[in-house]
Amino acid sequence: MPVKRILVLTTGGTIAGNVKSSDSARAASVQKETGLRGILEHTLADIEINWKVQVEIASEEIGNVDSSDILPGHWTLIANKIKERYEDYDGFIVTHGTNTMGYTCAALSFALPNLSKCVAVTGSQIPFGKPASDAAMNLDNAVRVVAYPYEPGIRGVVCVFGSYIITGTRAKKASEFEIDAFRAFGSGELGRIGRIIQINEANAARHNAYLGKTAAPALAETDVICQADFDTRILSLTEYPGLDPDLLLSIFKQHVEGDEAIRGVILRAFGAGDASTHLRPCFEYLKEHEVPVVVTTQAPNGNSNFMVNEPGHELKQQKLAIPAFDMSIEAITTKLSWLLAQNVPYSEMQTRMHADLHGEITVFQERS
C-alpha cells in the first residue's frame, strides 16, 4: 500500500486557539488531549480503506500568532521550510488564522513557483472544543486534498476551507461569520469538497500548468525555486471623494526620498480604476521619482482596466499608473512586494505585474 507523508506547519490562528482567553484554553486542551493524529483518526482510516493510501502525519511549528500579526518574515519561514523538507514529505499543510490567510496563500504561490507537491493552507472560524467548530473538518479536508490519489490531482499552493478548494492567488476571506468563509476572487475555484471531492478538471489543469512556467516541476529539494523575499515598503490607500491631493503630496515628499523610502503605492480607486483627476499631481510626482503605482477598484469583484472612463484612460495614456485588472488586493500587495524585493526596475514593473504567473490576473486589451 502506498504511503503519503504529510507535514503540517502550524502558524497559530483560531485553529490553534489564538482567540480570547477562555476559548484559547479550551482549544489548547482539546488538541493536547487528542493530538494531531487523534483529531484525524477517522479521516486517515477512511483514506486507507477507500483510497488504499496510508497517510503518515507529522507537524512542526513555524509560529504561534494571531494571523493579524503575520509578517512577511513568516511567509519566508514557511517557504524555506517547505523547500528544506521537500524530499521528506509528499505534501504539506499550513494551518493559519483566517484574517490574513489570503495574503499568505498568494505570497507562497509567488515564492514557490514550481512545486510538484500540494501545499494546502487551512484554518478555522471556530476553535477546537467550541460548539459547531469547523477546525477538525477543515484539517480533515486539507489532508484529503493533499492525499488525493486520482488524476487530476492538485499541486502547488491552494486554500482549503469549508466547501471550497481555491487556487492560492485567488483566495479571499468573504465572511467573518460563515463556515464557508473563503471564496475564489474572480476565477480560481478548483473544486468543492464534502463527502466526496469534486475537482473542476479544467481549472485544476490550468492551475497545475502554471507550475511548469518558470521551470520544470520540482522533484527534489535542489529543484525547488524558492524566492521568498518581500519588500513591503508600500503605501496602500483607499480613495474617497475629497481626498486632499496636497495632503498626499506632503506625505509622498516626506517619504519617497531616502534609504527607507516608500518603494510602491497601491490605490483603491473608483470604478474601473478611475482615480480623481484632482490627484493627478500625486501621480506625476510618483512617476518622476520612479515609484510604481498600482490602481485597483473598490468595486467587489471589479476590474481596474483604465478602459471605461476618462480619468482612468488618462492614467493609461500618460503612463502614470499600472492597472490591476482583476487581481485581488492580496495578490496585488504580495506580488508588488515580491517584485520590489527582486529590484525590478521601474521601467519593467508594469510588464512584470501583468505577467500571469499563477492565475492571479486576466489582462485584456482595449478594442476599437
**280 within 8 A of 274, measured Cβ to Cβ:** no
**14 within 8 A of 97, measured Cβ to Cβ:** yes
Name every residue whose Cβ is closer than 8 Å to that of residue 34 and which is 6 or more positions away in sequence: none
- Tell whether the model's pLDDT for residue 103 goes beyond 70: yes
What pLDDT is attached to residue 364?
A: 80
What pLDDT is attached to residue 25?
A: 53
pLDDT digits (tens, 9 = 90+) for 320-337: 999 999 999 999 999 999
Q: Which fold has domain 3-223?
A: Rossmann fold (3.40.50)
What pLDDT is attached to residue 24?
A: 52
- Tell whether the model's pLDDT for residue 27 goes beyond 80: no
- Tell whether the model's pLDDT for residue 30 goes beyond 50: no
Average pLDDT over residues 271-300: 95
What pLDDT is attached to residue 368?
A: 47
Nearest to residue 326, comparing CAs of 303, 308, 356, 359?
303
- Tell whether the model's pLDDT for residue 354 goes beyond 90: yes
Judge whether 3-223 and 234-353 match in fold.
Answer: yes
Name the one residue in this structure whose C-alpha cell is 522533484.
219
3-state secondary structure of 237: strand
More confident residue, 352 or 132: 352
Q: How many Cα atoms sit within 13 Å of 35 on the Cβ side? A: 6
- Tell whether the model's pLDDT for residue 105 goes beyond 70: yes
Could you say which of 3.40.50.40, 3.90.1300.10, 3.30.43.10, 3.40.50.2000 is the CATH number of the domain covering 234-353? 3.40.50.40
What DSSP string describes 25-91? HHHHHHHHHHHHHHHTHHHHHHHHHHH--EEEEEEEEEEEE-GGG--HHHHHHHHHHHHHTTTT-SE
What pLDDT is attached to residue 165?
A: 97
pLDDT digits (tens, 9 = 90+) for 254-273: 888 866 789 999 999 999 99
Distance CA 86, CA 232 (A): 27
Return the domain boundaries, the chain.
3-223, 234-353
